[in-house]
Amino acid sequence: MKILAIESSCDETAAAVVEDGREVLSNIVASQVEEHRLYGGVVPEIASRRHAEAIVGVVDEALQRADCTLDGIDAVAVTYAPGLIGALLVGVNFAKGLSLASEKPLIPVHHLRAHIASNYISHKELKPPFLCLVVSGGHSHIVEVKDYTEMSVIGRTRDDAAGEAFDKAARAMGIPYPGGIELDKIAESGDENAYSFPRPKVDGAPYDFSFSGLKTAVINLIHNKEQKGEEYSVPDLCASYRRAVVSCLTENFLKSAEDLGYKTLVIAGGVSANSLLRRTLEELCKDSFSLYMPERSLCGDNGAMVGAQGYYEYLKGNIADTSLNAIATLPISEDRFQKL
Ligand code: KG4
Ligand code: ZN
């Protein structure tokens, strides 16, 4: 079954053709990051306008690269939640139009479920159940993936998401948006023991995260140094900060896996591209867990992951009627659309 998949929840206009949830026939991503960098973050209205401009070309290219026409696809999948509402609406309405015109089923896909599904593309043998750490610019969740479309969150951030924590610290160091990626690269040449940072815990919730204190600690450290006219090493600061964030993520993730008895561990989302997170988990998991990580090119937002998850939503009968709407905030465990 060939699915044409569309993703427009944030600042990437993306489309892909995916066969049977696992085989990527094409995957086109048009990034707007250069434009948003001017403002230090994503400007929602600009994002919506750029999606509107790019979407026809991106979908067309995805079909062409897959050597396919609209007639040759079996369904249209689209990210309908969560995300920037104006951005989502562009993809949702476009997908609805395509589905109506081609008389192909319309499959609504939750963005975080799609991130998890990027692993089905990278690892053909991977099947639920497993425990997944979903870390992106907007979310930090530990998710029990009981089945392809049945999940529950057992740990979450109380404040900033991991990606946000990286981006905000990077910004304080003068690294342009989205600084998480650059911070990771700079950290490779730094000493992670040069500065000490707290490892915040949430009382009574051992799997929850809290990154805002860590972010404040790095901002205070920089301001103090600047006020005193003292130098600080950006690579050392990046390395020490990255170590602190990654330790919080891996400690809670491993603890929850041990407590709940999961042996298969998976990571997903933009931050799953982080070099230290990947190395640390490889080391910690090598004796007692099977670890799965998406290939780096599938960690960030893309259409292929939407096509992968779309396939399993379709098998479950999750097909929407034409009243499908975009939703800015929606738990990963919930479906919120009128079924056909
Ligand atoms: O999943 P994603 O592409 O978009 C959302 O759904 O939010 O995640 C984007 C986030 C950004 O905060 C970006 O800085 C972060 O992922 N990110 C990284 C790395 N690559 C992307 N953070 C740390 N290390 C990286 N290598
Ligand atoms: Zn994402």
Can you give the pLDDT of all 340 residues of the chain as single tens digits?
Answer: 999 999 999 999 999 999 999 999 999 999 999 999 999 999 999 999 999 999 999 999 999 999 999 999 999 999 999 999 999 999 999 999 999 999 999 999 999 999 999 999 999 999 999 999 999 999 999 999 999 999 999 999 999 999 999 999 999 999 998 899 999 999 999 999 999 999 999 999 999 999 999 999 999 999 999 999 999 999 999 999 999 999 999 999 999 999 999 999 999 999 999 999 999 999 999 999 999 999 999 999 999 999 999 999 999 999 999 999 999 999 999 999 999 9
Angle at which helices 162-172 and 179-187 pack, to 10 degrees? 70
- Residue among 97, 237, 98, 265 at smallest CA distance from 175: 237
Regarding the beta carbon of 274 and ligand 1, being less than 6 Å apart is answered: yes
Ligand 1 pocket mutation, candidates 136, 164, 186, 293, criterion most atoms within 8 A of CB = 136
User: According to the model, what pLDDT value does residue 133 have?
Assistant: 98
CB neighbour list of residue 3: distance below 8 Å, 6 or more residues apart: 17, 18, 19, 21, 73, 74, 75, 76, 77, 107, 307, 310, 311, 314
Regarding the beta carbon of 7 and ligand 1, being less than 6 Å apart is answered: no
Ramachandran angles phi, psi of 23, nearest 5°: -105, 115
User: According to the model, what pLDDT value does residue 20 have?
Assistant: 98
User: According to the model, what pLDDT value does residue 223 have?
Assistant: 94
Residue keyed to tokens 């998850």: 309
Ligand having the closest approach to the CA of 135: 1
Regarding the beta carbon of 271 and ligand 1, being less than 6 Å apart is answered: yes
User: According to the model, what pLDDT value does residue 232 have?
Assistant: 94
Regarding the beta carbon of 83 and ligand 1, being less than 6 Å apart is answered: no
- Report residue 80 CA to chain centroid gap: 15
User: According to the model, what pLDDT value does residue 201 have?
Assistant: 93
User: According to the model, what pLDDT value does residue 166 have?
Assistant: 97
- Residue among 85, 146, 147 at smallest CA distance from 111: 85
User: According to the model, what pLDDT value does residue 62 have?
Assistant: 98
CB 326 within 8 A of CB 85: yes
Ramachandran angles phi, psi of 219, nearest 5°: -65, -45
CB 44 within 8 A of CB 87: yes
User: Ligand 2 centre and the CA of 178: distance in Å?
Assistant: 13
Regarding the beta carbon of 301 and ligand 1, being less than 6 Å apart is answered: yes
The DSSP result for 96-121, as a single string, is HHHHHHHT--EEEEEHHHHHHHHHHH
Ligand having the closest approach to the CA of 269: 1
Closest atom of ligand 1 to CA, residue 277: 24
Coil, strand, or helix at residue 47?
helix
User: According to the model, what pLDDT value does residue 146 have?
Assistant: 98
User: According to the model, what pLDDT value does residue 303 have?
Assistant: 98
User: According to the model, what pLDDT value does residue 330 have?
Assistant: 98
Ligand having the closest approach to the CA of 211: 1
Do the strands 12-19 and 2-7 form a parallel or antiparallel pair, or are they unpaired? Answer: antiparallel
Compute the radius of gyration of the chain from its Cα atoms.
20
User: According to the model, what pLDDT value does residue 218 have?
Assistant: 95
User: According to the model, what pLDDT value does residue 73 have?
Assistant: 98
User: Ligand 1 centre and the CA of 10: distance in Å?
Assistant: 12
Regarding the beta carbon of 310 and ligand 1, being less than 6 Å apart is answered: no
User: According to the model, what pLDDT value does residue 109 have?
Assistant: 99
> How far is CA 337 from each of CA 7, 319, 327, rounded to the nearest angstrom?
17, 9, 10
Where helices occur in 154-265 by DSSP H, the ranges are: 162-172, 179-187, 212-227, 234-260
The closest residue, in CA terms, to atom 16 on ligand 1 is 270
C-alpha span between 133 and 143 (Å, rounded): 6
CB neighbour list of residue 185: distance below 8 Å, 6 or more residues apart: none
CB 77 within 8 A of CB 313: yes
Angle at which helices 212-227 and 234-260 pack, to 10 degrees? 160
Coil, strand, or helix at residue 85?
helix
The string of pLDDT tens digits covering residues 19-77 is: 999 999 999 999 999 999 999 999 999 999 999 999 999 999 999 999 999 999 999 99
C-alpha span between 76 and 103 (Å, rounded): 10
User: According to the model, what pLDDT value does residue 44 have?
Assistant: 97
